[in-house]
Amino acid sequence: MIHIENLQKVYEDIPGRVPAIQQIHLHIDRGEIFGIIGHSGAGKSTLLRCVNLLERPSSGSITIDGEDMTSLNAKQLQVKRRKIGMIFQHFNLLSSSTVADNIAFPLRLAGMGQAEIAARIKELLELVGLQDHADKYPSQLSGGQKQRVGIARALANHPDVLLCDEATSALDPQTTNAILALLLDINWKLGITILLITHEMQVIRAICDRVAVMEKGLIVETGKVLDVFLQPQHPVTKDFVGQVSDFATSMTDDGPSVNSGNTQGTMIRITYIGAKTYEPILFETVKSTNVTFAIMQGTISSMKGVPYGQLVVQLSGAQQEEIDTVIAKLKQEGMDVEVITP
């Protein structure tokens, strides 16, 4: 769907500047929600703006649906851009136009007739849940409602791709969740490929299939969200994963805890994914042995609707062999087990 090869962008405003992005290789599949995360100045917006050629790359190529973006002339580019919607952190709405007129804007540019525009606006307002706000001005809307208008406008010409530049960064956590749910809904209902950039790992975890981590203009790590989350490799990635605090939520106060009183033991981290998250596999595994366990930390969460959990558990027993047998059994059950302290 979107294929990026050896992309580089150097802003020539100051001679001898280092590239804002370089050596960018990415392939994004149709229907995928792909996230790019990085600190401020990492080059995220530059990369995103190169995708629809709001920024012309210095070298490298971007192909969307087999079409090389850099080879299009101005007219062809205009047509192609209709199929690439974009939403922004600060919404970029026309403040002197109503909600309906903001959404009508790209439709008029595409040459659509008045009656058709009215019908399409109605459809889009329903899709984003703003049926009753057509005649309001942006200043009369909340941040979340403004972003819904931004989304409706971006979807007006039935795009195949939606680019999101920090689309939820100006919103409170609750509104962020509502907007992310809307994006997920749009991805499922309309099959639109979404490329989003953010500096929040929660956003990546909530809706993305895959993620690329950027640092100083380079992609330093890329992979499926779950893999990157559970086994981050690069220090920047580890830093971002650490942002999501529920991995440190303690369950020791009210969680299941069975402790023999033997404080010496083996500390392990177990990762559950999918339906297994809700199965009492740990209990089933230890119950016929002399090994006991104490849950030190535990979380259950979900990633794009798939449950996953992590438990940090101390296994205790008279004999190390028994503990090793329990660990081996857990692995046999398909658990991802990491020994933290032997």
Q: Contact residues for ligand ATP (CB under 6 A)?
A: 11, 13, 20, 38, 40-46, 199
Could you tell me the smallest distance in angstroms from the CB atom of residue 214 to ligand ATP? 7
The CB-of-41 to ligand ATP minimum distance in angstroms stands at 4
The verdict on 46 binding Mg ion (CB under 5 A) reads no
Task: Select the residue interacting with Mg ion from 7, 9, 21, 45 (CB under 5 A).
Answer: 45
The verdict on 157 binding Mg ion (CB under 5 A) reads no
- State how far the Cα of 132 lies from the Cα of 144, in Å rounded to an integer: 15
Is 18 in a helix, a strand, or coil?
coil
Q: Which is nearer to ligand ATP, 13 or 321 (CB)?
A: 13
Which residue is it, tokens 């999101």? 164
Q: Which of 189, 183, 190 has the alpha carbon at shortest distance from 166? A: 183
Supply the minimum distance, in Å, between the C-beta of residue 200 and Mg ion. 13
- Token pair 């981290």 is found at 269
Picked from Mg ion, ligand ATP, none, the partner binding residue 205 (CB below 5 to 8 A depending on kind) is none
- Of 40 and 332, the one with the shorter C-beta distance to ligand ATP is 40
The residue among 58 and 292 lying less far from ligand ATP, judged by its C-beta, is: 58
| Least distance from ligand ATP to the Cβ atom of residue 243, Å | 14
Q: Which residues of 85-124 are buried (b: 16+ CB within 10 A; e: fewer)?
A: bbbbbebebeeeebbbbbbbbbbeeeebeeeebeebbeeb
Using rule CB under 5 A, residue 198 touches Mg ion: no
Which 301-340 residues touch Mg ion, going by CB under 5 A?
A: none
Give Dmax (Cα) for the chain.
80
CB of 218 to ligand ATP, least distance (A): 12
Q: Which residue is nearest to Mg ion (CB)?
A: 45
Token representation of residue 28: 């994004």
Closer CB to ligand ATP, 44 or 81, in the complex = 44
Helices 143-155 and 114-128: angle between axes, nearest 10 degrees: 130
Nearer to Mg ion, 45 or 310 (CB): 45
Tokens 């600190």 label which residue? 39
| Cβ neighbours for 144, distance < 8 A, ≥ 6 positions apart | 171, 175, 178, 179
Q: How far apart are CA 245 and CA 69, in angstroms?
A: 40
What are the C-alpha distances in Å from 200 to residues 39, 147, 216, 313?
A: 9, 18, 17, 28
The CB-of-332 to ligand ATP minimum distance in angstroms stands at 44
Binding interface with Mg ion (CB under 5 A):
45
